[in-house]
Structure 1
Amino acid sequence: MKYNSVFDIIGPVMVGPSSSHTAGALRIAKVARGLFGKNVCWAKIYLYGSFAQTYKGHGTDLALVGGLLGFETDDLRVAKALELAKQNGMNVAFFEDTAATDHPNTVRLLIGDEASSIEVTGISIGGGKVQITELNGFALRLSGNHPAILVMHTDRAGAIASVTKILAKHQLNIGHMEVNRKDVGQDALMVIEVDQNIADVILKELEEADHIRNVTKIDS
């Protein structure tokens, strides 16, 4: 992991105590919420490695639920996230999984409502930075060093072009891009790393592009 400044090491403005166990965990869950695209009614959260061993002491459980509620890393409501989730009717269960993982700060989230669900795996790599490594069976490769856009779409001709055209219009340079699909004409996923954070107005424009189902972002 390459750090560009002392702020990468210190981490983001946040509710503590740990940039990796708190801020990073919250960001993973918030990305999962963004990918789901609506309020989360239930969550099954599987913790691995260091996350599983220290999640209560480091507030990882609060951070993950805070992320599912849509909170930012510096939102004081994170400290009451479990209570607020219950008030909002969100059922949350935590599981300490002993399976071996490539990174000690790994979490797998199964989230959904009465109609649909998704599965997201992410790792907190330090300084509040995160990587999403899997989405609904799609293996992802995100460096964690750059802002990224995750685009769920239908595998149709023109879907990729509609996204890249919008990015070019807003002068967003693509540093890395990959596309995975379940099968011809089925669910597909674009993973795009860019050189600057994506404004919400651009995100909205991407969501309205042809064949696009859902768009979320990971800021640097």
Structure 2
Amino acid sequence: MKYKSVFDIIGPIMIGPSSSHTAGAARIGKVARSLFRKQPKWVEIYFYGSFAETYKGHGTDVAIIGGILDFDTHDERIINSIEIAGDLGVDVSFSVEDDDTDHPNTVKVRMGDGDDELELVGISIGGGKIEIIELNGFKLKLSGNHPAILVEHHDKFGAIASVSNVLARYEINIGHMEVSRKEMGKKALMTIEVDQNIDDIILDKLEILPNIICVTKIVD
């Protein structure tokens, strides 16, 4: 395996004993918060595999709640994140699941605020690196290492091309793109990782395109 830098070997700056169980969990929580775009009123966390066995001892529980509160991996408030969430009126619950998963460090996050809900499945693959593998029932592969745009749309001819054309017009380079759909002709999800952060004006241009339902960005 090749590493880009020494930080890929020793892992990120973080609070907690494990880059996989602490920093990775915090990053999954932070991506969930970014996608939800606001502070939730309730959060349900479901741990699988190794996460389920060691989440208390390795601080996975406080790490993922810290991420949902938008704390960075090195933020000292992570240690008290569950208490802080309670003070902010966020109802938090944890469940241990025994279902088999493809990766031992797997977590499902559900959150909502009465009006909106989000469900996300993420894995921590080591060294603080993560992948989001499911969002609201859509299968995807999102690293969280790059700025990204998630475009929910109707599965209609021309939808993907129209989004690509807007990004090309603004000279946005696509590093990785994939499309997931639950059923042909119904709703679909574009996951687009790009090389630079996206201005809101570009999101506005995307949202008014035909067949586009909503557009969310994840900032690097």
Q: Aligned residues: percent identity?
A: 53
- Aligned partner of residue 177 in structure 1, secondary structure: strand
What one-letter code is carried by the residue in structure 1 that aligns with 2:200? Answer: K
For structure 2, the 5+ residue unaligned runs are none
Partner of 1:71: 71
Query: Which has the higher mean CA deviation after the structures are superposed, 85-94 or 26-35?
Result: 26-35
For structure 1, the 5+ residue unaligned runs are none
Displacement after TM superposition at 1:146 (Å): 5.3
Partners of 1:166 and 1:13 in 2: CA distance? 37
Displacement after TM superposition at 1:21 (Å): 0.8
Task: Evaluate the alpha carbon distance shift between residue 203 and residue 99 of structure 1 in structure 2; reply closer, same or farther with a 3 A threshold.
Answer: farther
Q: How many residues align?
A: 214
Partners of 1:97 and 1:110 in 2: CA distance? 14
Matches within 5 A, 1:2-151: 3-142=3-142, 144=143, 147=146, 149-151=148-150
- Aligned partner of residue 141 in structure 1, secondary structure: strand
Task: Evaluate the alpha carbon distance shift between residue 75 and residue 166 of structure 1 in structure 2; reply closer, same or farther with a 3 A threshold.
Answer: farther
Partners of 1:30 and 1:116 in 2: CA distance? 17
- Aligned partner of residue 192 in structure 1, secondary structure: strand
- Contact kept in structure 1, 2:11 and 2:128, CA below 8 Å: yes
- Contact kept in structure 1, 2:131 and 2:144, CA below 8 Å: no
Deviations 1:188-210 (A, max 9, x none): 3111233x3x32xx152343222
Q: Which has the larger radius of gyration?
A: 2
Q: 1:207 aligns with which of 185, 193, 203?
A: 203
Displacement after TM superposition at 1:19 (Å): 1.2
TM-score by length of 2: 0.85
Determine whether 1:217 maps to 2:204: no
Partners of 2:72 and 2:213 in 1: CA distance? 26
Partners of 1:162 and 1:75 in 2: CA distance? 40
What one-letter code is carried by the residue in structure 2 that aligns with 1:131? Answer: E
Partners of 1:17 and 1:134 in 2: CA distance? 27
Deviations 1:64-98 (A, max 9, x none): 10111111112121111001100111011100111
Moved over 6 A (4+): none
- Contact kept in structure 2, 1:203 and 1:216, CA below 8 Å: no
| CA-based RMSD | 2.4
Matches within 5 A, 1:135-174: 135-142=135-142, 144=143, 147=146, 149-155=148-154, 159-161=159-161, 163-169=163-169, 171-174=171-174
- Contact kept in structure 2, 1:206 and 1:215, CA below 8 Å: no
What one-letter code is carried by the residue in structure 1 that aligns with 2:151? Answer: M
Task: Evaluate the alpha carbon distance shift between residue 33 and residue 214 of structure 1 in structure 2; reply closer, same or farther with a 3 A threshold.
Answer: farther
Displacement after TM superposition at 1:131 (Å): 0.2
TM-score by length of 1: 0.85
Displacement after TM superposition at 1:58 (Å): 1.0
Deviations 1:87-117 (A, max 9, x none): 1110111001111111111000111111121
Partners of 1:163 and 1:14 in 2: CA distance? 37
